[in-house]
Structure 1
Amino acid sequence: MFLVILLGALAAYTIYSYFYQRKIMKTLTEEEFRAGYRKAQLIDVREPNEFDGGHILGARNIPLSQMRQRHKEIRKDQPVYIYCQNTVRSGRTAQMLKRKGYNDLYTLKGGFKGWGGKIKAKK
């Protein structure tokens, strides 16, 4: 019985998080993302080894695992374009930033996996 209640609570939390993330950040197609990210703060929330393997040109790497300590590096008065590998970490980052007072949040539909534009990788 406890397991059923636990699974139900987990499912409810997952559904709540999904809809809350959709409310606080706008998901953009690659074309929309490309049109606006140069006028915004472009943040890659993947881990440094993922970032070094390839990232969108002009992105800053602030991993989700470091966001709590480094969120002040991001300005609140400018749009924030967030991406990760597939959007899971982007959603968590948006929730954290929203709690810290950030409002103009965007994410790339499909994450870095869906990006077809220019990338930069360490050699």
Structure 2
Amino acid sequence: MSTFKHLSINELIHMTTDSNDVQIVDIRDGATFNAGHIENSINLTNENIAQFIADADMDKPLVVVCYHGISSQGAAGYLIEQGFDDVYSLDGGYAAWGAAHA
């Protein structure tokens, strides 16, 4: 059984620059997501996760983003269990992404 991988901000920048096939899910609360998020990311919640899993491409890279890179690790593990092949947890989360893009 595979496991998720850790991804740095720089690795995510390169990944999204090199390919449009990267799926990014943000597990922060809706208000925080609406206040700012990574371009083309989806706010993944308990309400839409079943639909996301049904619609997503299980073979494309999937990056999970949270506030600081802690909660995303559990979510990434869960998504691996659901059948995704290439799952990453963004180290430092949106806080690090925001600092890098300030």
TM-score, with length taken from structure 2: 0.79
Q: Distance in 2 between matches of 1:27 and 1:98?
A: 13
Runs (4+) off by over 6 Å: none
Q: Distance in 1 between matches of 2:13 and 2:78?
A: 24
Identical columns (%)? 25
Q: Which residue of 1 aligns with 2:34?
A: 52
Query: Unpaired segments of 5 or more residues in structure 1?
Result: 1-22, 119-123
Between Structure 1 and Structure 2, the one with more helix by share is 1
Q: Are 1:87 and 2:31 counterparts?
A: no
1:117 counterpart letter in structure 2: H
Aligned residues: 95
Q: Which has the larger radius of gyration?
A: 1
Question: Residue 4 of structure 2 is aligned with which of 22, 25, 44?
Answer: 25
Provide Cα deviations, 1:20-58, integer angstroms capped at 9, x if missing partner: xxx711111111011113431111111211100110111
Q: Distance in 2 between matches of 1:89 and 1:67?
A: 18
Query: Unpaired segments of 5 or more residues in structure 2?
Result: none
Q: Which residue of 2 aligns with 1:108?
A: 90
Quote the RMSD (CA, aligned, Å): 2.0
- Cα drift, residue 67 of structure 1: 5.7
